[in-house]
Amino acid sequence: MKCYVHSDRFLRCARRAVILGGLGVFSVVPLLGMREQAIAQPRNQPRNQTRWDAARRQMFETAIAGNGVTNKAVRASMRSTPRHEFLPKAQWKHAYLDMALPIGGGQTITSPFVVARMTEALDPQPTDHVLEIGTGSGYQAAVLSPIVATVYSIEIVESLARRANRTLKRLDYENVLTKAGDGYLGWPEHAPFDKIIVTCSPDNIPVPLVQQLREGGRMVIPLGKRYQQTLTVLRKVHGKLEHEALEPTFFVPMTGKAEQLRDHTSESTDCQLVNRSFEVADDQGYPQGWYYRRRAQVVHDPNALAGEKVLRLHNDIPGQGAQALQAIGVDGRHMQKIRIHARLMGTQLRAGQTDEQTPRIELVFYNRGRSPIKQTMLGPWTGTFDWKEIGKSISVPQQARLAVLTLAMYGGVGELLIDEIDIQIVTPD
């Protein structure tokens, strides 16, 4: 279930660039004390884990602690849970990069930071009975396992449900119960639940899940339309739901009953970006309509042509991330080409830790099964330059049903200002 993953070439570039799938930011933080490290050690692991321990520690220090996750139990579980064990062996080398990765069945394992962010928002307690919708690989359930009483997890893809169950049993996560089924319907036999975590996006809150949430309980769920979702915390107070919007996000759609109820008329395939001129910002100065934002601030600029504001990507630490992403609907059956156009300015732009860590714009196309099928790039850019127009025409694969646009420093250093970015369908002559 979970977030989107880019192509193998992107994985290689991302590994070197250290900005990973739009979901990861690397920075340096102090090591934790032994007391926090000692919590929730996973079981039945091979003794020779030096390589994975070091990679997991690096991931934790940069993507989790370095990005503001403060809950001690969540931090400890993220530091000790062996993510590679929940991936196909072909993906082990990428296991501790902060990015979504394919697990089969057209699904992916969520990036570590998003797992930590959602788990922290759930406010897990040692006595909690938690329902998870979307087992996927079993990684999220494993993270929850040491810090709650019981995890009940449902996966609609039967092959994934069986594999996750085997993995969780092999690693002795004894308080995790899984089943194959439609998560929209919940698991009434074990209700009510203290907490519910949903790792796929429905149009609306599933009524059965609300009914199975205990009074005073909490649900963390991505809500919204196909390409514009918000990670939301719901609290059940006196039988009614209180909403708290956390941040924009992008998850795969909830299937099964939720898919039958979905309003597909809202799923535009006209390549229209939201807030393309960056005139609308949230309370923290991040551009609304864009997600997985890191060091991406909306600022006033007297030279802005599209309005009064521009997007500022800025990074002082080589290898650190700065980015904003947005997904758009495309349909390769009805369009042959699109054109990207943007206006930008650079100040002291240079490569980060490697030559490939340079600012650029990337667009990745996905097919109906959510597998990446094509990637294209504008840039990279280095040096200092005044405002300039850039553009590129791109052929759309016939199988394309979705595209993800990434504006990023990719580990590069300096400042990149973007006044406006637009994507238009090219009409054949």
**pLDDT for the residue 33:** 27
Q: Measured between alpha carbons, how far is residue 184 from residues 153, 251, 253 in Å?
A: 12, 15, 12
Q: How far is Cα 179 from Cα 165, in angstroms, rounded to an integer?
A: 8
Strands in 372-378's sheet, in edge-to-edge order, are 291-294, 323-329, 402-408, 360-366, 372-378
Q: In sequence order, what DSSP letters do the residues of 132-150 get, joined into one string?
A: EE--TTSHHHHHHGGGSSE
**pLDDT for the residue 182:** 96
- The answer to which of 40-54, 225-239, 250-264, 328-342 has the lowest mean pLDDT is 40-54
Is the overall model pTM greater than 0.85, yes or no? no
The CATH-assigned architecture of domain 291-426 is: Sandwich (2.60)
Region 50-58: mean pLDDT is 88
From the list 408, 415, 425, the residue with the least C-alpha distance to 348 is 415
* CA 144 to chain CA mean position, Å: 18
C-beta separation of 134 from 91 below 8 A: no
Instruction: Check whether 319 has a pLDDT greater than 70.
Output: yes
Position with higher pLDDT, 15 vs 410: 410
- β pairing state of 193-198 and 129-133: parallel
- The answer to which of 102-111, 121-130, 324-333 has the lowest mean pLDDT is 102-111
C-beta separation of 402 from 329 below 8 A: yes
Q: How many CA atoms lie within 13 A of 291 on its CB side?
A: 21
Residue 174 neighbours by CB under 8 Å, 6+ apart: none
SS3 255: coil
C-beta separation of 198 from 254 below 8 A: yes
**pLDDT for the residue 268:** 63
Domain 8-266 in CATH 2.30.30.360: no
- HEC profile of 285-321: CCECCCEEEECEEEEECCCCCCCCEEEEEEECCCCCC
Burial 260-289 (b: 16+ CB within 10 A, else e): eebeeeeeebebebebbbbbebeeeebbbb
Q: How far is Cα 355 from Cα 359, in angstroms, rounded to an integer?
A: 11
What share of the chain has pLDDT > 90, as a percent? 63
Region 325-346: mean pLDDT is 94
Q: How far is Cα 253 from Cα 124, in angstroms, rounded to an integer?
A: 25
**pLDDT for the residue 427:** 83
Query: Could you tell me the residue ranges of all domains in the chain?
Result: 8-266, 291-426
From the list 220, 202, 197, 194, the residue with the least C-alpha distance to 134 is 197
Averaged pLDDT score across all residues of the chain: 85
Instruction: Check whether 12 has a pLDDT greater than 60.
Output: no
